[in-house]
Structure 1
Amino acid sequence: MLNPFLSMKAIDKSFGNVNALKNAEFELKKGEVHALLGVNGAGKSTLMKVLSGVYEQDVGEILLEGERIRIRSPKVAKDFGIYCVYQEVDTAIVAELSVAENILLDKIVAGSNMFISKKKLNREARNALKQLQVVNISVEIPAFMLSLAEKQLVLIARALVSSAKVIIFDEPTAPLSLNESTKLFSVIKKLKATGVGCIFISHRLPEVFEICDRMTVMAEGTLVGTYNTSETNQEEIVEAMLGTSYSKDFPARKHVLGNTLLRVKNISRGEKVRDISFQVSEGEIVGIVGLVGAGKTELAKTLFGYSPYTEGSMEILGNTLKIKHPKDAIKAGLVLIPEERRKEGLFVQESLRTNASFPNLQNFSRLLFMDKKKEKSFAKEIIERLQIKTSSTETPLVYLSGGNQQKVAIGKWTSLDSSLYLFDEPTKGVDIGAKTDIYRMIREFAEKGKGCLYFSSEIHEVLGISDRILVMYDGHIVKELSRKEATQERILLYASGGKEE
């Protein structure tokens, strides 16, 4: 067998006491499209950040074209011809510069000439886009006028003009429509034909099988295996991704469902929420599970009125409502604990007392003045009931751990006695102890007859906490599973766009 074009051998990377990579391996052939797969936290992104110079490995070696190299920064990676096209393209695009200036940006920064001919700049940029068979993008317009898909093409063209040998595509189709994804695959095939090695990170298995020659699966920071696409299938890859190393025991619960609390009929908003229908009963926990980009967060925000639906309808206890704004949702008895708690769920610079009373200011005020004694009493009640680790109700939330902040984000809504709770990735960035407390809180809500929607990409959590599970893929609910029917394998298969034979 010929030596691989790129090889990463026995890579270790630790952050404090956390081993993110343990003896990780990856190789890439010249002119190959090679998928890097794994569930959240498998180590994919860390390994690629080592390759692209964001992190430096603690142990191990990287060989490019048979030569051992050391990548100490993103600039060094680019000098070796290793480029990354991120899902968040706007982080790499300079919005006010022209398309041509963005394409030639690395050359401009590295160049010693103070004067660069605009005519030459535009010509080189057009030639780069021409290689990708892109002729409908003007190189003279500012980059902020481009669509996300067009910005991706600009980043690929930037890599081409710098003679890229390896391009890492990190979830490149997550922000794209189906048509835009098809065009991107056409571009990747052209890159492959010119000998560029492409590393493709995606949660969407159908597109992985469509575009990739081989796939490497990682779990818990290490290599599980490398597979030829033509010799494997989705079920085998799903099994490799999940393994048997993780299991989470949730205590079984006996529950009786009440009346239908929420009924959603054919609601749509943009590309991420498309013709969705489901219902939630009183006392029921319904899990909505999907991978990155499936539309879970967008659905949660649509239900809560952040971005109102454009089609369809919602009923609460049989009454049809039009939720146009979060205040409409709160009035109707819906509350949202958002994924980005520090940005959208809390005032982190303010005290626990202030945060706890904010959703229901009327309850804590007399005429024009806040009743601080009543505020403090409620904050103390939350601290005791939710076991929040703090010495005072006046502690600014910025000084609390992520888990304790999340408990405040949930607990603050309890003064409203709402009927339906929407939890969007409620255990994101939370330690094991706090996770257990959050699971307990959610089950307590259900036992009191509340309806709970649990949005998460963590399949094992959804399996453990939910009475019923809805699987999302590409803005649709593609499968409903009872607790008895659901397994990690089945959920991951549907969440990746697959179907059971």
Structure 2
Amino acid sequence: MAITLLEMKNISIEFPGVKALNEVNFTTETGTSHALIGANGAGKSTLMKVLSGAYNHFTGEIFLDGQKVNITSPKDAQNLGIQIVYQEVDTALIPYLTVGENIMLNETVNDMGKKQLINWKTIHEKATKILASMKINVSSKKLVSELTLAEKQMVLIARSIMKDCKFLILDEPTAPLSHSETNELFRIVTDLKNRNVGIIFISHRLPELFEICDDITVMRNGEFVSKERIAETTQNRIVEQMLGKKLEEQFPKQNVNIGNTVLDVKGLHDIDKIRGIDMSVKAGEIVGVAGLVGAGKTEFCKALFGATKVTAGDVYLHGKKLKIKNPHDAVRQGIALVPEERRKEGILVLESVATNLTSANLKRFTNIFSLLNFKEEKKTAVEMVKSLGIKTPSEQTKVQNLSGGNQQKVAIGKWLITEADVYIFDEPTKGVDVGAKKDIFDLISELAKRGKAIIYASCELSEIIGITDRVYVVYDGEVVKELDTNKTNEEEILFYSTGGK
């Protein structure tokens, strides 16, 4: 099989107030899997958006096998065999169409404007053939709205390779997947490599990259740092290149005096997943909620916050029984939630950093006539940006233009202004790089030091071990084990997380 060489040379791009890429070089070839890694805001996704035609106002050159190519639109990239699967799979699929229709979408819309008859039988036959070749066990006639997140991702990959795909870019593909779903994705990646497709893999999960990739390119602050063979480097070396400094202790070590019980949950049930959860959290205590994807961690967090209907059970704050019918009740009574899906539920992406940071406590910034005090709002936002280390050109920058780690800091920061008693963090480091993770752990540790009660829900067991005092293991909507963190390990937590007795 002939190998195709891809070269991006001296790529630079600017956005208002931000130089996102500065003279970046990137080289890869078909038949290999290439990790592209860097801290949030390093420019990884921006570079791949240039390659896939989403951004066309860049300077620099792109070559395929030594021939210069012009990529000014996604169609240009696709015609050259370059495809991308974004992290937000739902935005790229049409939910009310079938799997087959979504896979064959590019083929059926290419001649739009001309009168044409669509042979639905042929559409489904072709889609079924592609799915079968990838050993994906999904019916082409099933509606996309009925698929799991992992299945949607497989459909997008199937659509990408329907035409002559030379390079497939996967942006944070494993972030929402369970362990078994990740293994299935890796099987498909290996299969595509064997078919001479070049895979470009953007991820923050270093162990996965070292398992599946051949080469690794590191970026920092919009610039190229290094390119190495995976077999010839180490995870610690890569992290140090990402951060530009030696790897520090990731989890802060602070002596916190654990106080009295702040939150007491008894027999909590929701309408679907949660079945009788009991839990308590004391002042200054970080309590972990551990479990695999789908165990019920997120559902528990939402039920506690009033975002889903509770059918049974009681919640007590400082011994007082709470009535929580909705998130407004929860916030008013001192409970804050930083949700897993930050772009959908945690931030207002089209609003400014300042608007987001003050949105959960507008009362503090309005006068008796309900008019907003913009001067006070700006002052508080500037202080919060500085104290949290949010990387933004200004407090007026739209949150959608920030990196994932900085968006997460905004999602956390808005609750710091409200001074809640209980802070619930649901997968707070999802899609966040190692540098921003440390900042988030420091924030959570500081909250505990101030006597706040913290719930930390995560399927990242190393984080549960690193930051919590106690851990409740959730399996199939129930707490199956309560453990002291300093007396347990990842293996024991995983044993109970998978239904072990």
| Same fold flag (TM > 0.5) | yes
Q: Are the counterparts in 2 of residues 285 and 453 from structure 1 also a CA contact under 8 Å?
A: no
Q: Residues 141-156 of structure 1: matches in 2 within 5 Å?
A: 141-156=142-157
Residue correspondence of structure 1 range 101-116 to structure 2 within 5 A: 101-111=101-111, 114-116=116-118
Map of 1:221 onto structure 2:
222
Counterpart residue identity of residue 45, structure 1: S
Question: Quick check: 68-77 or 458-467, which moved more?
Answer: 458-467
> Percent identity, aligned pairs only?
36
In the alignment, is the contact (CA less than 8 A) between 1:177 and 1:271 conserved in 2? no
CA distance in 1, matches of 2:76, 2:228: 30
Could you tell me whether the CA contact under 8 Å between 1:308 and 1:323 is conserved in 2?
Answer: no
SS in structure 2 at match of 1:108: helix
Residues 388 and 404, structure 1, Cα contact 8 Å, conserved in 2: no
Equivalent AA in structure 1 for residue 39 of structure 2? V
Q: Aligned partner of 1:118: which letter?
A: W
Query: Aligned partners of 1:354, 1:439: CA distance in 2, in Å?
Result: 7
Provide the residue aligned with 1:24 in structure 2: 24
Could you tell me how far apart the structure 2 residues matched to 1:77 and 1:336 are? 40
- Listed as ranges, the matches of 1:362-381 within 5 Å are 374-376=368-370
> How far is the alpha carbon of 1:246 from its aligned partner?
12
1-side partners of 2:20 and 2:396: how far apart? 24
Query: Is the alpha carbon distance of 1:310 and 1:239 closer, same or farther for their aligned partners in structure 2, counting shifts above 3 Å?
Result: farther
Cα distance in 1 between the residues matched to 2:178 and 2:273: 7
Aligned to 1:118: 120
Shift of 1:101: 2.1
Q: Give the stretch that moved more between structures: 70-79 or 159-168.
A: 159-168
Give the 5 Å matches for 1:50-129: 50-56=50-56, 58-111=58-111, 114-129=116-131
| Equivalent residues of 1:170, 1:201 under 8 A apart | yes
Q: Distance in 2 between matches of 1:326 and 1:148?
A: 26
| 2:129 partner letter | N
Q: Give SS of 1:129's match.
A: helix
Give 1:461's match in structure 2, choosing from 418, 439, 454: 439
CA distance in 1, matches of 2:168, 2:299: 30
8 Å contact kept, 1:19–1:221: yes
Return 5+ residue gaps in structure 2 as ranges: 249-253, 382-392, 399-405, 449-453, 469-489, 491-501
Instruction: Determine the structure 1 residue equivalent to 2:167.
Output: 166
| 8 Å contact from structure 2 (residues 33, 201) kept in 1 | yes
Give the Cα separation in 1 of the matches to 2:359 and 2:88: 36
Query: Alpha carbons of 1:98 and 1:244: their partners in 2 closer, same or farther (altered >3 Å)?
Result: same
SS of the aligned residue for 2:156 comes to helix
Question: Any unmatched runs of 5+ in structure 1?
Answer: 248-252, 360-371, 390-400, 407-423, 483-493, 495-501
1:412 match: none
Q: Counterparts of 1:170-249 in structure 2 under 5 Å?
A: 170-244=171-245
Code of the aligned partner of 2:84? C
Taking structure 1 as reference, are residues 265 and 460 closer, same or farther at Cα in structure 2, changes over 3 Å only?
A: farther
Tell me if the contact between 2:335 and 2:422 (Cα under 8 Å) persists in the aligned partners: no
C-alpha change, 1:278 and 1:79, in structure 2 (3 Å) is farther
User: How far apart are the structure 1 equivalents of 2:278 and 2:5?
Assistant: 46
1:428-443 maps to which residues of 2 (within 5 A)? 428=410
**Structure-2 separation of matches of 1:278 and 1:373:** 38
Deviations 1:399-433 (A, max 9, x none): xx984799xxxxxxxxxxxxxxxxx9674399xxx
Q: Are residues 1:387 and 2:379 paired?
A: yes
**d(CA) in 2 for partners of 1:277, 1:385:** 37
Aligned residues: 418
TM, length-normalised to structure 1: 0.67
* Aligned equivalent of 1:356: 362
TM-fit CA distance, 1:177: 2.2
Looking at structure 1, the residues matched to 194 and 229 of structure 2 have their Cα atoms a distance apart, in angstroms, of 19
- Does structure 1 residue 474 correspond to structure 2 residue 455? no
Does the 8 Å CA contact 1:285/1:451 hold for their aligned counterparts?
no
Q: What letter corresponds to residue 129 of structure 1 in structure 2?
A: L
Q: Could you say if the C-alpha distance between residues 181 and 439 of structure 1 is closer, same or farther in structure 2, counting changes exceeding 3 Å?
A: closer
Q: Give the aligned CA root-mean-square deviation in angstroms.
A: 5.1
Residue aligning to 1:485: none
CA contact (8 A) 1:262 1:279 kept: yes
The answer to whether the 8 A contact 1:304-1:326 is kept is yes
Opposite residue 474 of structure 1, the aligned amino acid is C
> Which has the larger Rg?
1
> In the alignment, which residue of structure 1 is the partner of 2:305?
304
Conserved? CA contact 1:287–1:453, under 8 Å: no
- Cα 1:254–1:169 change in 2 (3 A) is closer
Q: In the TM superposition, what whole-angstrom CA distance separates every residue of 1:267-306 from its partner, at most 9, and x where no partner exists?
A: 999999xx9978452xx59799x9xx99998776454232
Is the contact between residue 106 and residue 162 of structure 1 (CA under 8 Å) also seen in structure 2? no
Residue 466 of structure 2 aligns with an amino acid whose one-letter code is E
Q: Which residue does 1:414 correspond to in 2? A: none
CA contact (8 A) 1:337 1:345 kept: no
Structure 1's 268 and 6: CA in aligned 2 closer, same or farther, altered over 3 A? farther
Partners of 1:7 and 1:28 within 8 A in 2? yes
Q: Is the 8 A contact 2:13 2:21 kept in 1?
A: yes
Q: TM-score, normalised by structure 2?
A: 0.67
Q: Following the alignment from structure 2 to structure 1, what is the Cα–Cα distance between the partners of residues 396 and 281? A: 31
Q: Is the 8 A contact 1:313 1:320 kept in 2?
A: yes
Q: How does 1:36-47 map to 2 (within 5 A)?
A: 36-47=36-47
Deviations 1:456-484 (A, max 9, x none): 643353355433599865365522349xx
C-alpha separation in 2, matches of 1:178 and 1:271 = 20
CA distance in 2, matches of 1:42, 1:271: 38
Task: Determine if contact 2:6/2:65 at 8 Å carries over to the other structure.
Answer: yes
Give the equivalent residue in structure 1 for 2:386: none
Partner residue of 1:342? 348
Amino acid at match of 2:121: K
Comparing 149-158 and 330-339, the one that deviates more: 330-339
CA contact (8 A) 1:471 1:480 kept: no
Note the C-alpha offset of 1:227. Answer: 2.4
> Counterpart of 2:132 in structure 1: which amino acid?
K
Distance 1:384 1:25 in 2: 44
How far apart are residue 97 of structure 1 and its match?
Answer: 2.6
Bigger Cα displacement from structure 2, 217-226 vs 151-160: 151-160
Distance 1:71 1:277, change over 3 A: farther
Partner of 1:49: 49
Closer/same/farther in 2, CA of residues 230 and 107 from structure 1, 3 Å limit? same
